[in-house]
């Protein structure tokens, strides 16, 4: 479904954005249109793999896409991204260095950081009396039928690797097969694999233990304060979603204008308040409400950041991950 920011009117200049669900604030797009006369048209995807498939098929004609860290390197390698003229991005100097020059895009040739978050554990204090502490809790029989996992191969296998004492960078086929077997054992406890609209399963109480992205849990907690986010003792994962311009973007000039507008401190702070994911713009942190400034999933803290792992590009192991994930889901 395509959603347009602003009111319906005769077609004029537009920028087409392909992004995640619940990952922006339409009011920011309305302000951009008022300032520039350029309308923002938004389409949504549910996974990095869906985004990649759409661009490789040459469909969509998008001006900005929002891939996660490892997917930037995949898309750049496939020749799907345009190099960015960072001199056109006035906000680039405000980005926290911890989010720049990452291995997936050295020198930020193709990407500028947008929002970041943490993959960890969510639970409801009203239903779970003994707070979970780590990934091992997802294998406990008492949670049978009350667990949800992200519907994301890399995230689920990363959890399995970390739970088994491995780094997410491990690509040894024997290790990945071993992890798959652990996930097969776990599957009989899992009620659902879901990445979209996770808030619905959290708020309904149909699951008690959730493998979840931090912002999704924290948005649901606005409606149900007993919902709680936990950093797993094994570490957990950090992800960063980025703004990129596809090679075949119809309006690359408009794309750069929208990127610079979105990433301005006042605008991205509004988006953080709405989405409950963090921003890389250091100037935006001081504009957040005081209670959000101390949240380590929104404003990065070194002690927490050191424990988190980035999920790397699978590289030559991509086909193996696809096969193992298909086998797991087919059982």
Does one domain contain both 106 and 207? no
Given a contact cutoff of 8 angstroms between Cβ atoms, the answer to whether 303 and 231 are in contact is no
Q: pLDDT tens, 112-127?
A: 999 999 999 999 999 9
pLDDT below 50 — which residues of the chain?
1-10
Predicted local confidence at residue 8, as pLDDT? 42
Rounded distance between C-alpha atoms, residue 68 and residue 54, angstroms: 15
Rounded distance between C-alpha atoms, residue 61 and residue 18, angstroms: 10
Predicted local confidence at residue 58, as pLDDT? 86
Predicted local confidence at residue 7, as pLDDT? 40
Which residue matches tokens 């985004």? 51
Predicted local confidence at residue 45, as pLDDT? 92
Does one domain contain both 112 and 128? no
Does one domain contain both 291 and 318? no
Predicted TM-score of the model (pTM): 0.92
Does one domain contain both 224 and 321? yes
Q: pLDDT tens, 237-268?
A: 999 999 999 999 999 999 999 999 999 999 99
With left for phi above 0 and alpha for psi between -120 and 50, is residue 108 left, alpha or beta? left
Does one domain contain both 233 and 243? no
Q: How far is CA 301 from the centre of its chain?
A: 19
Angle of CA points 119, 69, 55, to nearest 5°? 115
Does one domain contain both 163 and 17? no
Rounded distance between C-alpha atoms, residue 212 and residue 276, angstroms: 13
Predicted local confidence at residue 196, as pLDDT? 83
CATH assignment of the domain containing 324: 3.40.190.10
- Would the CA dihedral through 217, 218, 222, 228 be positive or negative? positive
Predicted local confidence at residue 132, as pLDDT? 97
Rounded distance between C-alpha atoms, residue 239 and residue 257, angstroms: 25
Predicted local confidence at residue 2, as pLDDT? 39
Does one domain contain both 99 and 233? no
Task: List the domain range (segments joined by +) for residue 243.
Answer: 2-116+239-300
Rounded distance between C-alpha atoms, residue 255 and residue 212, angstroms: 30
Predicted local confidence at residue 3, as pLDDT? 41
Predicted local confidence at residue 89, as pLDDT? 95
Does one domain contain both 245 and 138? no
Does one domain contain both 222 and 285? no
Does one domain contain both 27 and 8? yes
User: How many domains is the chain partitioned into structurally?
Assistant: 2
Does one domain contain both 143 and 111? no
Does one domain contain both 6 and 93? yes
């Amino acid at each position: 479904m395509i959603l347009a920011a602003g009111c319906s009117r005769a077609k004029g200049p537009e920028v087409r954005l392909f992004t995640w669900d619940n990952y922006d604030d339409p009011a920011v797009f309305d302000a951009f249109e008022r300032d520039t006369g350029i309308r923002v048209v938004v389409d949504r995807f549910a996974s990095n793999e869906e985004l990649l498939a759409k661009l490789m098929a040459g469909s969509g004609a998008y001006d900005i896409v929002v891939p996660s860290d490892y997917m930037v390197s995949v898309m750049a390698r496939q020749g799907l991204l345009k190099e960015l003229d960072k001199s056109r991005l006035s906000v680039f100097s405000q980005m926290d260095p911890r989010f720049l020059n990452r291995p997936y895009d050295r020198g930020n040739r193709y990407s500028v950081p947008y929002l970041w978050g943490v993959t960890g554990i969510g639970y409801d204090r009203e239903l779970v009396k003994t707070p979970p502490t780590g990934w091992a809790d997802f294998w406990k029989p008492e949670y049978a039928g009350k667990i949800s996992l992200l519907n994301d191969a890399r995230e689920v296998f990363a959890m399995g690797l970390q739970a088994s004492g491995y780094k997410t960078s491990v690509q040894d086929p024997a290790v990945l097969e071993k992890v798959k077997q652990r996930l097969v054992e776990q599957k009989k406890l899992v009620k659902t694999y879901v990445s979209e609209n996770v808030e619905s399963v959290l708020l309904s109480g149909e699951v008690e233990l959730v493998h979840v992205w931090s912002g999704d849990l924290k948005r649901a907690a606005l409606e149900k304060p007993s919902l709680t986010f936990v950093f797993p003792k094994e570490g957990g994962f950090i992800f960063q979603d980025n703004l990129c311009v596809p090679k075949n973007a119809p309006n690359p000039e408009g794309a750069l204008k929208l990127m610079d507008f979105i990433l301005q401190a006042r605008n991205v702070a509004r988006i953080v308040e709405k989405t409950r994911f963090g921003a890389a713009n250091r100037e935006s942190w001081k504009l957040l409400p005081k209670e959000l400034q101390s949240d380590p999933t929104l404003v990065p803290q070194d002690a927490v950041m050191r424990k988190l792992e980035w999920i790397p590009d699978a590289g030559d192991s991509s086909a193996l991950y696809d096969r193992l994930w298909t086998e797991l889901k087919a059982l």
